[in-house]
Amino acid sequence: MDEYRCGMLITMKDWRENIFFILVEPKITGNIGAAARAMKNMGFKKLELVKPVNFLDDEARSTACHAVDVLEEAIVYPDLKKAIKDKSMIIGTTRRFGRRRGFILPLEDSIERIITAARKNKIAILFGREDKGLSNKETEECGFLITIPTDSSFPSLNLAQSVLIVAYELNRKTLKKETPVLAKYEELEALYKHIFSSLKLLDYIPRGDRDLETKIMNNLKHLIGRAGLTDWELRMLHGICSQIEKKIKVKGRLKTDWKTN
């Protein structure tokens, strides 16, 4: 089934163009090539790399096989922030669980959410380093994490295997659910700063308690990042924060005037 958008015919398959497979600091060129091949096998082409090794060598080209075009067209970023700033949903992959890892879903339970959002929004799926995966700081940027169920006696997957499994699960399920356009990561970052300043004015965050401050803001980021925000919702929350700031400042002036009198 096709649909029209801005006068152009858009096919149902185009949601794949909005899925970006981002490899964070990959160190083995063969893995990067194999990941490119896995993506193309499943109909995906958007490969992005954060601080990779010099990857366009013979080993990478060999493992990429007929997906050398995906490999050669990969976009390289110096840091994760630059890679995700124009994405509306950030999803991390992990095999590790823990209090600081955020909200984690089994891969199969996340597929519908990802495809539905990808119909109109750029989606980043992050894959960590071969030896230690994504750091806690990197997972804090994610709306949620996905995990691939494996045998507990040997849970670690090869980087390219992880890419293949995620791409396969996405490829085998197509949805027709309508989705709104969501705010991008850089727009959400500005909102988080606005919320933080409002919470400080309200004394909701105890002064000097940096651990609680970090926990509250990370939980808010995960809450918003899981579902995303429409432009209207984004402007509404900015408006609420602005109104809070206005009321608190007016109240502060009244208190000052009263004491002066």
Other Cβ atoms closer than 10 A to 6: 5
pLDDT for the residue numbered 211: 80
If one compares 216 and 41, the residue with the highest pLDDT of the two is 41
pLDDT at 11: 45
Q: Can you tell me the distance from the alpha carbon of 174 to that of 187, in angstroms, rounded to the nearest whole number?
A: 29
pLDDT at 97 > cutoff 80: no
Q: Is 78 exposed, middle or buried (0-12, 13-18, 19+ CB in 10 A)?
A: exposed
Calpha distance 245→249 (Å, rounded) = 6
pLDDT band at 252, cuts 50/70/90?
low
Q: How far is the CA of 40 from the CAs of 43, 45, 61, 67, 160, in angstroms?
A: 5, 6, 14, 6, 12
Residue 177 pLDDT class (50, 70, 90 cuts): low
Residue 60, SS3 per DSSP: helix
pLDDT at residue 101, rounded to an integer: 57
**pTM of the model as a whole:** 0.74
Which range, 95-99, 135-139, 219-223, has the best average confidence (pLDDT)? 135-139
**For residue 8, what pLDDT is reported?**
40
For the stretch 193-248, pLDDT in tens is 999 888 888 888 777 777 888 888 888 888 888 778 888 888 999 898 888 888 88
Please determine, for residue 65, whether its predicted confidence score (pLDDT) is greater than 90. yes
Taking the C-alpha atoms of residue 172 and residue 211, their distance in angstroms, rounded to an integer, is 42
Rounded to 5 degrees, what are φ and ψ at 232? Answer: -65, -45
Instruction: Please check the confidence at residue 96 and state whether its pLDDT lies above 80.
Output: no
Please say if the pLDDT value at position 9 is more than 50. Answer: no
The closest alpha carbon to 160, from 56, 16, 44, 39, belongs to 39
- Taking the C-alpha atoms of residue 160 and residue 29, their distance in angstroms, rounded to an integer, is 11
Mean pLDDT of 124-147: 93
Q: Mind listing the domains of the chain with CATH numbers? A: 2-171 (3.40.1280.10), 185-260 (1.10.8.590)
Q: What is the DSSP letter of 100?
A: G
Across 133-243, the runs of DSSP E, i.e. the strands, are 144-147
Q: 144-147 and 104-106 as β-strands: parallel, antiparallel, unpaired?
A: parallel
Query: Can you give the pLDDT at residue 224?
Result: 84
195: nearest Cα among 253, 142, 231, 241: 241
What backbone phi and psi angles, to 5 degrees, belong to 68?
Answer: -60, -30
User: Using 50, 70 and 90 to split pLDDT, how confident is the model at 10?
Assistant: very low
